[in-house]
Structure 1
């Protein structure tokens, strides 16, 4: 029994015109990976190394951080880049291992739906978070909030 391996120089099938989504997905993974390293290490450094370190992380710390527009944008970039990066990786795994077309479509649809829902919810939390909501009972508010 002999096995024939196709020559790596064999002519490829001609690709139709249009956007090469696989190429742009590959480029996105590299660029977003580099940016994510900076965002993640910046996030960890500020949260764990500056100030009082881990013991300073509490509701007040998060509330103060999310009230600053700089950190809102930082966290939004981190959220969006990480979720899309992860979803693109899952899409690639699905392309590699889902050999049935219907299964591939269902899995990629589920990945897309989960990503969109998490992006919307996460972005809403970042921009609408209020540690001291108006009209809340004083016993339910954090200690740094003024009742009233």
Structure 2
């Protein structure tokens, strides 16, 4: 083989490593990203439609509107599902970016651990806020909500 032919030869691809037994987390992460993306489109556009297109549109959004929505179990679960899917979807996307661009294994593990810890914390906090929201908490006599909260 001449030098010119050798330079034009494409090197052989890396030999694939032997696949470990068990679940393929990368495959399930890939599937999750597609499924959650489709579901998030429905949830987000439904959220935007109800908040911006029905009733008085953007003018209806105030504390009372949010309190009314969060009093309904349907909207609580809608918002929690949107929250969980969005945070896990975003953290998984960031995990993919970290895996692609961070070469040091220790730094990669720290960053990925931080991603999942922050996503878990925000999921926990957001879920607690949605299910324990009380519009009358801390309302005093000088508040405009005083009469509403006293009648409830």
TM-score w.r.t. structure 2 length?
A: 0.88
Q: Is the 8 A contact 2:139 2:145 kept in 1?
A: no
Runs of 4+ off more than 6 Å: none
- The residue aligned with 1:94 is 98
Determine whether 1:21 maps to 2:25: yes
Report the Cα distance in structure 2 between the residues aligned to 1:103 and 1:51, rounded to whole angstroms.
Answer: 50
Aligned length: 146
Q: Is the 8 A contact 1:95 1:104 kept in 2?
A: yes
Q: Which stretches in structure 1 are left out of the alignment for 5+ residues?
A: none
- The residue aligned with 2:141 is 138
Determine whether 1:128 maps to 2:129: no
* Greater C-alpha radius of gyration: 2
- Aligned-pair distance for 1:140? 3.4
TM-score w.r.t. structure 1 length?
A: 0.90
Helix, strand or coil for the counterpart of 2:134?
coil
Summarize the Cα distance change of 1:73–1:144 in structure 2 as closer, same or farther, 3 Å threshold.
farther
Compare 137-146 and 12-21 and name the one that shifted more.
137-146
Q: Which stretches in structure 2 are left out of the alignment for 5+ residues?
A: none
